[in-house]
Structure 1
Amino acid sequence: MKSPWPAELTDGVTLVRPIKLRDQRAWREVNRRNRDWLRPWEATIPPSPPGRMPPQRPTYRQMVRHLRAEAHAGRMLPFVVEYEGRLVGQLTVAGITWGSMCSGHIGYWIDQGVAGRGVMTTAVALATDHCFRSVGLHRIEICIRPENLPSRRVVEKLGFREEGLRPRYLHIDGAWRDHLVFALTSEEVPEGVLARWRHEAPGATEIK
């Protein structure tokens, strides 16, 4: 049986693959160009208690090495997203928990230049199907700020259930922010998330 990590997931011109050290130049270029687009939704570090040095943001290389170590430990699946051969975003399955829970949560961002084309919707569908079918998870959760309408459209198109509000859940853009919780379990999509989306919206990966 093929190992669930590392894995490359494809649908048409969309590729979801493990992040690599050699992605640094492309990753930095996309982040720099999308700074204003991404800033309102990016995680930030809250103020440190008195007398404690604030943690420093890792370099790209430190980030990738940490993500890869977590992946090898079975706690994370760190991907980048390519569209038509170009790096356009990042998708991470994190917080993977086994035992009686068997769950994980997905976070993502995408280049504004390809937003609205179904790229991240396809990537989230591919990653969720991989988690259910190959990794063996039972539940996938996605937490989104209520104001983030483009990200909410992704989970709505894929049929994630809205489960409620988590007040002041994550430190985002300099403050503790509320998040809406969306989730799916494997029993809800026996045909697969991508297949269900396509069935409900034919041609979705091309026009959405």
Structure 2
Amino acid sequence: MNGSWPAELADGDVLLRPIKLRDQRAWREVNRRNREWLRPWEATVPPAPPGHLAQRPTYRQMVRHLRSEAHAGRMLPFVIEYQGRLAGQLTVAGITWGSMCSAHVGYWVDEAVAGRGVMPTAVALATDHCFRHVGLHRIEVCIRPENGPSRRVVEKLGFREEGLRPRYLHIDGGWRDHMVFALTAEEVPEGLLTRWHQARRDTPRDTPKK
């Protein structure tokens, strides 16, 4: 992953950059405002075995873990900025080499900017970076079937639906089914961002939420 981290990726008003400890105040403020919007889709800690404590990490613990994983070549943790303000988070995780060369992408966005193309742009930027600079072959996104906004992101970008993974992740207090969507590098030789721009030119723009 030489040269792939840290990286800043930008397109118009959307910027992906490495998450930092000094983002704590803005990150907490966005999360506080979006607590109910994000709660049904947030990862949770399953009940711990007897004698073990299950605790969510603090912000500082989270960032240190993410950056340590990034420097070890296993993860690319970004915050999303929109028009210069922190508006979400995107993480390329589970980076696997050898005969697989694959990773999965997780993300969330501020409800205040949902519907403006921010998240499809962010996913397209990250996917192109993984294919062109990191050297990965496959990108996967796993989404709860009930999560309409996230499903629309991958549908707009042309990810293939590959099927259901029963009780795949612990989300909102329980083990939840997830749909699998994926792309390989050969499917987007022109780049996913180019495909996304073309799709936006060919269809009416999203209507920003008020």
Cα distance between partner residues in 1 of 2:6 and 2:205? 27
Q: 1:55 offset after TM fit, Å? A: 2.3
Deviations 1:147-170 (A, max 9, x none): 000000000000000000000000
Is the 2:9–2:125 Cα contact (8 Å) retained in structure 1?
yes
Following TM superposition, by how much is the alpha carbon of 1:90 offset from its aligned partner in structure 2, in angstroms?
A: 0.2
Q: What is the DSSP-based 3-state SS (H/G/I as helix, E as strand, rest coil) of the residue aligned with 1:99?
A: coil
Question: Which residues of structure 2 form unaligned runs of 5+?
Answer: none
Displacement of 1:52 after TM fit? 2.5
Asked if 1:45 corresponds to 2:80, the answer is no
Instruction: Kindly provide the amino acid, as one letter, of the partner of residue 29 in structure 1.
Output: E
Secondary structure of 2:201 counterpart: coil
Residue 53 of structure 2 is aligned to residue 54 of structure 1: yes
Question: How is 1:16-165 mapped onto 2 (pairs within 5 angstroms)?
Answer: 16-49=16-49, 51-165=50-164
2:195 maps to 196
Report percent identity of matched pairs. Answer: 79
4+ runs of 1 displaced by more than 3 Å?
A: 203-208
Deviation at 1:207, TM superposition (A): 3.9
| 1:117-150 per-position Cα deviation (integer Å, ceiling 9, x unaligned) | 1001100000000000000000000000000000
Q: Deviations over 1:48-102 (max 9, x none)?
A: 22x2222211111111011000000000000000000000000000000001100
Aligned length, in residue pairs: 207
Whether the aligned pair in 2 keeps the contact of 1:198 and 1:204 (CA below 8 Å) is no
CA deviation profile, 1:4-24 (whole Å, cap 9, x unmatched)? 110000000100000001000
Q: 1:139 and 1:205 mapped to 2: Cα distance?
A: 29
> What SS class does the counterpart of residue 167 from structure 1 fall into?
strand
Per the alignment, in what secondary structure is the counterpart of residue 82 of structure 1? Answer: strand
In structure 2, do the counterparts of structure 1 residues 204 and 71 end up closer, same or farther at CA, with 3 Å as the change threshold? farther
Cα distance in 2, alignment partners of residues 200 and 86 from structure 1: 26
* Amino acid in structure 1 at the alignment position of 2:153: V
Deviation at residue 205 of structure 1 after TM alignment: 11
Which whole-Å CA distance do the structure 1 matches of 2:145 and 2:176 have between them?
A: 9
| C-alpha distance in 1 between matches for 2:203 and 2:119 | 12
**Deviation (angstroms), 1:196:** 1.1
Q: Following the alignment from structure 1 to structure 2, what is the Cα–Cα distance between the partners of residues 204 and 3?
A: 36
Separation (CA, whole Å) in 2 of partners of 1:15 and 1:205: 23
TM-score (norm 1): 0.96
Unmatched segments (≥5 aa) in structure 1: none
For residues 204 and 62 of structure 1, what CA distance do their matches in structure 2 show? 42
Q: Residue 201 of structure 1 aligns to a residue in which SS?
A: helix
Cα distance in structure 2, aligned partners of 1:88 and 1:205: 23
Alpha-carbon offset, residue 204 of structure 1: 7.2
